[in-house]
Amino acid sequence: MERTYKIAVIAGDGTGPEVIREGLKVLDAVSDRCGFSVERIPYDLGGERYLKTGETLPDSVLSELKRLSAIYLGAIGHPEVKPGILEQGILLKLRFELDQYINLRPVKLYPGVWTPLKDKTPEQIDFVVVRENTEGLYAGIGGNFKKGTPDEVAVQMDVNTRKGVERCIRYACELTRSQGRKKLTLCAKTNVLTYAHDLWTRVFEEVGKEYPDISRDYSHVDALVMWMVKSPEVFDVIVTNNLFGDIITDLGAMIQGGLGIAAGANINPKGVSMFEPIGGSAPKYAGQGAINPLAAIVALSMMLDHLGEREAAGLVEEAVKRVTATKVKSLAAGKMGYTTSEVGDLVVEALRADAAQKTSL
Ligand code: IPM
Ligand code: MN
């Protein structure tokens, strides 16, 4: 029987629809080639819908999403909507409600891509960040007291549960093993966050002992960002909390050449996962064909891998590598030497050429 997947497509705001269109083009090509089929179900969540109807993520949509194979997301964020509404009402709500407790963000320099780190090569910038994705300071627990007065107090709680920390660390151990990697670094701040990060340290040691093949390493977050710039080759897999993961993966995106190629996966290993380019909606580039779709295409490759379509995932990633190595001049919007849609075409072309070559062997 043919393998079939039902994919929710949330193209979203700004340049989201443009990059998702290219991703879907690549999906069509690779599904043809690898013999599976995809039913796409579009959802118009985002700033426009909110401005028209006041809705962010209705419960009815959420329950539909729970029945699908995966979600392919463009970007959420609209210049006319107050910051926070769409992020919390759509993106974070999806992560929390679907219990996507891992945010997986590979930091990988593709061949031919310029990095601001002098003399670093693709062999030296290749690690994965496993970011806890449903707790920490993102839990939204806190409040104000005497708001708006000189005596105002604002409290925002950093929530770290044993269950949440353990499943995140366990996932990171499993990933390290399954990707044939060797070292797992815990990124925290144990010298200051003596309660929360003591929990992370203890769980890291306990769970880590079950994986004797993985070497364990620790770095304070402030030192870690320094090493990310100076010697990125020391990292293999990094596991960290929600906020630190958010921050260090933006730095990661820069050292791998920019947001034009940085992709991420919000994973619930037993539920519905969501795949996205990690850059925002970039409204100033919307409609110009200037934005780079490679991040969305790499996110697609991660989705295929997650669905178990390993061959397809590999073909897409190889095609992206070929395009970065031989075609695009720069990853930056407007400087690629091609339009958004032409870059999508180049990936499809590279994929077909690669697939044809593999068939003839
Ligand atoms: C990300 C984004 C989000 C986050 C924002 C938009 C809420 O920066 O996916 O990294 O902080 O997680
Ligand atoms: Mn972020």
pTM confidence score: 0.97
Q: Which of 13, 88, 92, 132 to mutate to test the pocket of ligand 1 (most atoms within 8 A of CB)?
A: 92
d(CA 264, CA 135): 18
Polymer length in residues for the chain: 361
* 3-state secondary structure string across 57-94: CCHHHHHHHCCCCEEEEEECCCCCCCCCHHHHHHHHHH
Q: Three-state SS for 334?
A: coil
Residue written as token pair 């994919």: 7
Work out the percent of the chain whose per-residue pLDDT is above 90.
97
Tell which atom from ligand 1 comes closest to the C-alpha of 276: 9
Q: Is the pLDDT of residue 115 over 70?
A: yes
Domain ranges of the chain: 1-110+257-361, 116-124+135-239+250-255
The amino acid that residue 181 corresponds to is R
Q: Which fold has domain 1-110+257-361?
A: Isopropylmalate Dehydrogenase (3.40.718)
Is 97 in contact with 271 (CB distance < 8 Å)?
A: no
d(CA 327, CA 143): 51
Predicted confidence (pLDDT) per residue in 220-271, tens digit: 999 999 999 999 999 999 999 999 999 999 999 999 999 999 999 999 999 9
Q: Is the pLDDT of residue 355 over 80?
A: no
Query: What is the residue with the minimal CA distance to atom 9 of ligand 1?
Result: 278
Q: Are strands 102-108 and 36-42 parallel, antiparallel or unpaired?
A: unpaired
Tell which atom from ligand 1 comes closest to the C-alpha of 264: 9
The CB of 87 under 6 Å from ligand 1? The reply is: yes
> What spacing in Å lies between the alpha carbon of 90 and ligand 2's midpoint?
15
The CB of 91 under 6 Å from ligand 1? The reply is: yes
Q: Is the pLDDT of residue 300 over 80?
A: yes
The CB of 246 under 6 Å from ligand 1? The reply is: yes
Predicted confidence (pLDDT) per residue in 38-84, tens digit: 999 999 999 999 999 999 999 999 999 999 999 999 999 999 999 99
d(CA 158, CA 156): 7
Query: What is the residue with the minimal CA distance to atom 10 of ligand 1?
Result: 246
**What CATH number does the domain located at 116-124+135-239+250-255 have?**
3.40.50
> What spacing in Å lies between the alpha carbon of 75 and ligand 2's midpoint?
12
Q: Is the pLDDT of residue 361 over 70?
A: no
Angle (deg, nearest 10), helices 221-230 and 242-255: 10
Predicted confidence (pLDDT) per residue in 33-51, tens digit: 999 999 999 999 999 999 9
Q: Over the chain, what is the mean pLDDT?
A: 97
Identify which ligand lies nearest to the alpha carbon of 264: 1
DSSP 335: -
The CB of 132 under 6 Å from ligand 1? The reply is: no
Q: Three-state SS for 5?
A: strand
Identify which ligand lies nearest to the alpha carbon of 242: 1
Identify which ligand lies nearest to the alpha carbon of 132: 1
Between the two ends of the chain, the Cα-to-Cα distance in Å is 27
> What spacing in Å lies between the alpha carbon of 43 and ligand 1's midpoint?
20
**Residues within 5 Å of ion ligand 2, judged at the Cβ atom:** 246
Which parts of 95-168 are beta strand (E)?
102-108, 126-132, 142-145, 153-156
> What spacing in Å lies between the alpha carbon of 250 and ligand 1's midpoint?
10
